[in-house]
Amino acid sequence: MISVDQALEQLFSLVSPIGAETVPLTQAVGRVLAADAIASRDQPPFAASAMDGYAVPGNEVAVGAEFDVIGEAAAGHGFSRACGPGQAIRIFTGAPVPQGATRVVIQEDVDRSGDRITLTDRLSGGDNIRPSGADFCAGDKLSAPRLLRPSDIALLASMNIAEVSVARRPDVALISTGDELVMPGENPGPDQIIASNTFGLKALLDGIGARARILPIAGDSRPLLEAAFDLAKDANLIVTIGGASVGDHDLVGDVAEDLGMQRAFYKIAMRPGKPLMAGRMGDAVMVGLPGNPVSAMVCGHVFLAPVIRAMLGLGLHPSSRLSARLAADLPENGPREHYMRAFVQDGEIRAETRQDSSLLTVLADANALLVRPVGDGPRSAGESVEYLPI
Amino acid sequence: MISVDQALEQLFSLVSPIGAETVPLTQAVGRVLAADAIASRDQPPFAASAMDGYAVPGNEVAVGAEFDVIGEAAAGHGFSRACGPGQAIRIFTGAPVPQGATRVVIQEDVDRSGDRITLTDRLSGGDNIRPSGADFCAGDKLSAPRLLRPSDIALLASMNIAEVSVARRPDVALISTGDELVMPGENPGPDQIIASNTFGLKALLDGIGARARILPIAGDSRPLLEAAFDLAKDANLIVTIGGASVGDHDLVGDVAEDLGMQRAFYKIAMRPGKPLMAGRMGDAVMVGLPGNPVSAMVCGHVFLAPVIRAMLGLGLHPSSRLSARLAADLPENGPREHYMRAFVQDGEIRAETRQDSSLLTVLADANALLVRPVGDGPRSAGESVEYLPI
């Protein structure tokens, strides 16, 4: 058996980058920036007033000082002339500060009578001016690769970038295998169950930037499997679920090999989801997951998500872990890394009582996979442990 | 001035539910379940083998015991007859366990010769049978409301639910106002800047389940604002950005009132983003945000996100906070709740040095809003503080 980290290294060695595409800024959130985005102008592009008030020569500001109001500067409509000694410009937030003015006195600190203002004795400090380029300057960049969040989108807009180069969404083909499966909404026979893994994995992988498609279920026959692989052949990642163990009825690996897959089969020291098949099939990475629903989803978090992020250009890293305090004691762990279904709240994590890998209700109630390292000793309530948020 | 919590209460009082729609399961992740989803059958629907091996009468299992293999049960293809005394059925993972068999001996624990098996002395424990209904029973339900995650989608599939009733996505109309603004990709005049708030807010609100649309910029004139509100009139939430303070050039509130808005104007004891306008306009909730980019985004997290979640049926709650240890001392806070741009890593949070509300670069570098309560005293490195993840 190999470790989870070793298996992930093997998977990463199969990944190649998948290229970029240009999308409008409104579609860029959640995508990965593929080329540096560069500002073409300063922001603000001019010294701008941070308040509503009066722009004046700063050296003349004193309690009781008087100024003639000679014009107005509004956002979008600057005052075209300069502000001379003894003069003030009525100014609003966001407006360009006129030449000659070096301070904005807020309107609350001014008494106005006609076109004359007098500074009151409440005079507050600060020049209330945002210098040109305070946020960014022409040539400043947002560097790729970067997973774009809402605040990045606001920043890119402010840099006057209307469309951005982002990594293409990896095309993932999901194939569930087995005569026992029917699609949701169908009428299962007495020996049959409903295919659920492909639906859960699509939701998971789409959410981290892939474009996953659910292919028709491949029954346990060579022609059905071949037909499924044929439908998958343009994908960047082909995922089969089920048929990846050593039973007599496991055809998936054989058929994939006949179709040219360089096959590797790993028994991974992990629970749940021990067996994993992997290889390259043409231009695609092919991964075979175990068929138990919880195993398939856990492998999705532990193996497929890092593969997708690698394809997106985000580097070769395992899924990020957080830490929390154990709510209750845990016995020692065995020789396999254990991803226990668990619930985290207020920094405290509690493993679910039932850990059988067939229980989707338990997985749905969980919000974390508590990671027990290989050979980890018994742990006491209050100790810090690592988990994957799910 | 009112508190952030009081302002949120006022906003919640304006919200009404917005109804449900039915979507295919593949489109349900990230949506909010609007009606309980009910299983129509047990899962597993039969006692199922958890391993590859031999199904036998459990009371006959002993080291050296022998059985006649009289048939086979595979996933999707049960064995139609019963297993009698001294008999075994070759069985694979997921197959129905035949009548009369009460234990599956794993294949590694068996020597097979022709149609006869002998149990070896390695005999491991457990019956390796998943009882019918172990995961869920007919009538069990996934209760609404519930934000659907990938594992919920897998569970719903497994319950044979092909389409689900989910809350409609609230339609949000985003209107930025001001003569100083142009859209990204346009050619700004010397006094102009690029509209960024609507882009950042759309990314934020779409990500939590809304469907936000960016309306044309409304310049500072009555007809332009009226035209913008006209385009927004079918929305569930109308958000204006800018023009919500007390300057001479703030027309938004006046125009909205003329169009029938019951106007409330709050000065909220918060930084950044003090002013907020709110009311109902026809069937829509109308919120006016301040125009500074960081203020608008912070108000998006603090006010708009909870409003969207309320519309989705997720209850009337402020955005969830987490806690982390301070990386460095902080001075005492003033009379306003302060949402400081900050960066959290490994449980430690550090406030950014520059907190001016015009700096989108600082916001984009941050991943948290560190919350300083009103009148909070000085805090030391290592103390626990609350933050909103962003």
For B361, nearest residue in chain A (alpha carbons): A135
- pLDDT of the residue at B221: 87
Q: Which pLDDT score is estimated for B247?
A: 53
User: What pLDDT is stored for residue A250 in this prediction?
Assistant: 65
Mark out the alpha helices in chain B (DSSP H runs).
4-14, 150-158, 197-207, 222-231, 252-258, 293-299, 305-311, 360-365
CATH level 2 (architecture), domain B322-389: Beta Barrel (2.40)
At the fourth CATH level, the homologous superfamily of domain B48-130 is Molybdopterin biosynthesis moea protein, domain 3. (2.170.190.11)
Determine the residue of chain A that is closest to B204 in CA distance: A150
Query: How far does the CA of residue B153 sit from the closest CA of chain A (Å)?
Result: 5
Put simply, the answer to whether B179 touches A347 (Cβ < 8 Å) is no
- What are the tens digits of pLDDT across the range B250-287? 688 888 889 888 877 778 999 997 778 899 998 999 99
If we measure between CA atoms, which residue out of A177, A237, A242, A240 comes closest to residue A212? A237
Q: Decide if A192 contacts A232 (C-beta within 8 A).
A: no
Interface A–B counts its CB contacts (< 8 A) at 296
A293 touching chain B per CB within 8 A? yes
pLDDT of residue A248: 46
Hey, which bits of B206-333 come out as E strands?
211-214, 237-241, 262-267, 270-271, 275-281, 284-289, 322-326
pLDDT tier at A242, thresholds 50, 70, 90: confident
Residue in A151, A161, A248 closest to B363 by CB: A151
Which residues of chain A have a CB within 8 Å of the CB of B74? 179, 220, 249
- A90 vs A95: CA distance, rounded Å: 10
State the best of A52, A72, A180, A198 to mutate against chain B, taking most chain B CBs within 10 Å. Answer: A180
Nearest to A193 among B44, B156, B195 (CB): B44
For every one of its 390 residues, what pLDDT tens digit does chain B have, with 9 covering 90 and above? 899 999 999 999 999 889 999 999 999 999 999 999 999 999 999 999 999 999 999 999 999 999 999 999 998 999 999 999 999 999 998 999 999 999 999 999 999 999 999 999 988 889 999 999 999 999 999 999 999 999 999 999 999 999 999 999 999 999 999 999 999 999 999 999 999 999 999 999 999 999 999 999 998 888 999 999 999 989 999 999 987 454 544 688 888 889 888 877 778 999 997 778 899 998 999 999 988 899 999 999 999 999 999 999 999 999 999 999 999 999 999 999 999 999 999 889 999 999 998 999 999 999 999 999 999 999 999 999 999 999
> Which chain B residues are closer than 8 Å to A28 by Cβ?
203
Return the residue of A nearest to B298 by Cα. Answer: A151
Architecture, CATH, for domain A4-18+168-311: 3-Layer(aba) Sandwich (3.40)
Test B151 with A195 for CB contact under 8 angstroms.
no
pLDDT tens digits for range B142-155: 999 999 999 999 99
Q: How far apart, in whole angstroms, are the C-alpha atoms of residue B279 and residue B13?
A: 10
What gap in Å lies between CA A304 and CA A295, rounded to an integer?
Answer: 12
Q: Indicate the SS3 state at residue A348.
A: strand
CA neighbor of B170 nearest in space, from B66, B313, B318: B313
Mutation pick from A42, A158, A304 vs chain B, by most beta carbons of B within 10 Å, is A158
Q: Please give the mean pLDDT across all residues of chain B.
A: 94
The answer regarding whether domain A24-43+139-167 maps to CATH 3.30.470.20 reads no
**pLDDT tens-digit profile of B223-238?**
999 999 999 989 999 9
Q: Residues A151-171: pLDDT tens digits?
A: 999 999 999 999 999 999 999
3-state class (DSSP) for residue B152: helix
Chain A residue closest in CA terms to B49 = A358
**Mutate which: A72, A108, A142, A153, vs B, most B CBs within 10 A:** A153
B21-41+140-167 domain in CATH 3.40.250.10?
no
What pLDDT is attached to residue A295? Answer: 94
DSSP string, A112-176: EETTEEEE-TT---S--EE-TTSSB-TT-EEPSSEEPPHHHHHHHHHTT--EEEEEPPPEEEEEE
- Single-letter code of the amino acid located at A177: T
- List the beta strands (DSSP E) in A25-76: 32-33, 37-38, 48-49, 53-56, 66-73
Crossing angle of helices A197-207/B150-158, nearest 10°? 160
Residue B198: its chain A contacts at CB < 8 A?
157
Burial label for B133, CB within 10 Å (0-12, 13-18, 19+), is: middle
Contact status of B76 with chain A (Cβ, < 8 Å): yes
pLDDT exceeds 80 at position A106: yes
Domain spans of chain A? 4-18+168-311, 24-43+139-167, 48-130, 322-389
Alpha-carbon distances of B352 from B3, B342, B348, rounded to whole Å? 24, 5, 13
d(CA A363, CA A359) in angstroms, rounded, equals 7
Contacts with B, A 159-178, CB within 8 Å: 159-163, 178
With an 8 Å Cβ cutoff, is A47 touching chain B?
no
Mean of the per-residue pLDDT values of chain A: 94
User: Taking CB atoms and an 8 Å limit, are B390 and A246 in contact across chains?
Assistant: no
For residue B190, with 0-12 CB atoms within 10 Å meaning exposed, 13-18 middle and 19 or more buried, which class applies?
Answer: exposed
